[in-house]
Amino acid sequence: MDQIITRFPPSPTGYLHVGGARTALFNWLYARHCKGKFVFRIEDTDQVRSTAASVDAIFDAMAWLGIDWDEGPYFQTQRMDIYKDHVQKLLRSGHAYYCTCSPEEVEQMRQKALASGGKPKYDGTCRDKGLGPDDHAVVRFRAPLSGTTVIDDVVKGPIVFQNAEQDDFIIQRSDGTPTYNFVVVVDDMTMGINTIIRGDDHVNNTPRQIMLYQAFGAKLPVFAHVPMVLGKDKTRLSKRHGATSVTAYRDMGFLPEAMINYLVRLGWSYGDQEFFTREELIEKFTLENIGKSAGVFDMDKLLALNQDHIKATAPERLADMLLPFLHQKGYAAEKGNYLCKVIRTLAPRVKTLVEMAEAAAFYYVDEIVYQPDAAAKFLNGDHLKALRLIRDELDALDPVTETNLEESFHRVAGETGWKLGKIAQPVRVALTGKTASPGIFEIIEIIGKERVMGRIARAIGWIENQTVSG
């Protein structure tokens, strides 16, 4: 069996979006699963819309997702001599010919065909004229006039096209530049691509491409046309559904592992399993498990999956991804044991890294801002005695461990007659400003005795000041 060779050929006319990223992942996973090759190609022949910024954005997205390649990146604009050579091959073999019909004349042919109930297409005026090169001539492919062209699609099954409905399409424009369907075939042939996984919006291009393979005497690749990704309203995914660039999801605090997991599950399944690591996807990914129905992009499901991946990811790895978000907020955070401890307390409680950075505030700020409702309820005269007793207990505590803290809180509970939860809440608000947080003993141990004592003293002062003012 031949080595499996797949490819991903984005056009650099914008950012890498959700649908494009899923296509890249399907090709990459299948190549890795089969121990084959994955080729990366930039289809930049559209010089008007292609930009260097878009190329950089695509590279950035691929790097974030961890999609590497074995060959490339190839740029079509650097392969023009190869395309011209292949145009000449088709001209010599009689599979292509020069055409001098003007765009206006071709449009008249199409309108005439439509008026008579036919397909709007070029009528073959120059097909047998034997014309030579000319400044205004295009090169057209000589398409078969009868029979059928069949796509043996791995996902959709056989798709049959009547050749009589195809026209002699242009493979080289009058300015000498090649057209999309032509360069794609030449690229895939010369790069040895034998498995093409792409969106089903390309189905109508495929019969023309198959005709070109046959004209060159080349072996057809395996085609797998994947259903599109839709929004929750079952229309094609667009910006209104949140279909921004892939890197926008990175900036929203999603993990690349979660994004990969979610995108692959949009159209592929393995039983009822939802959560996959990258390694599991490589192990299990096959073309046979790609579904026939469109995937529906659901932000709530992506958030839930991201939460699961945050919980499953080692704090050391999360630290690298979380640091930019902490620095964005102005926190003097750095890699190390302290940050890993912070992450362990927050990971079970958040859905994104943005949420984690927001929740980490009390670990890094110098002065806690109390939520008004929390302060009104728990930083008042009723809780003053408990806070003072906790302060005294902490002052005498050495070392500060969870066991020692629990014993201290129990002693305060005995003295006040309160349950531990009632004592913990004013301490929690004093340390975090909120009524909800990770475990109070964990927080105290991480923040450290000196900072904890300072925050409790400030809370006591706050209550005393409120009492005097009142």
Closest by CA to 429, choosing from 372, 381, 468, is: 372
Q: Is 239 in the active site?
A: yes
427 three-class SS = helix
Exposure b/e, 234-255, CB count within 10 A at least 16 = b? eeebeeebbbebbbebbebbbb
Tell me how crowded residue 278 is: count the other CB atoms within 10 A of its CB.
16
Q: What gap in Å lies between CA 237 and CA 299, rounded to an integer?
A: 12
**Helix axis angle, 337-346 relative to 440-447, nearest 10°?**
160
For the four alpha carbons of 234, 235, 237 and 238, in that order, the dihedral sign comes to negative
With b for 16 or more beta-carbon neighbours within 10 A and e for fewer, the 105-129 pattern comes to: ebeebbeebeeeeeeebbbbebbee
Contact at 8 Å (CB) between 11 and 51?
no
What's phi and psi for 119, nearest 5 deg? -80, 140
Residue that is written with structure tokens 């044991």 in the block: 337
Radius of gyration of the chain (CA): 32
Strands 71-75 and 295-296: unpaired
Cα 61 to Cα 15: distance, rounded to the nearest angstrom: 8
- C-beta of residue 343 within 8 angstroms of C-beta of residue 315: yes
Active-site hit among 129, 239, 284, 385: 239
Residues designated catalytic:
239
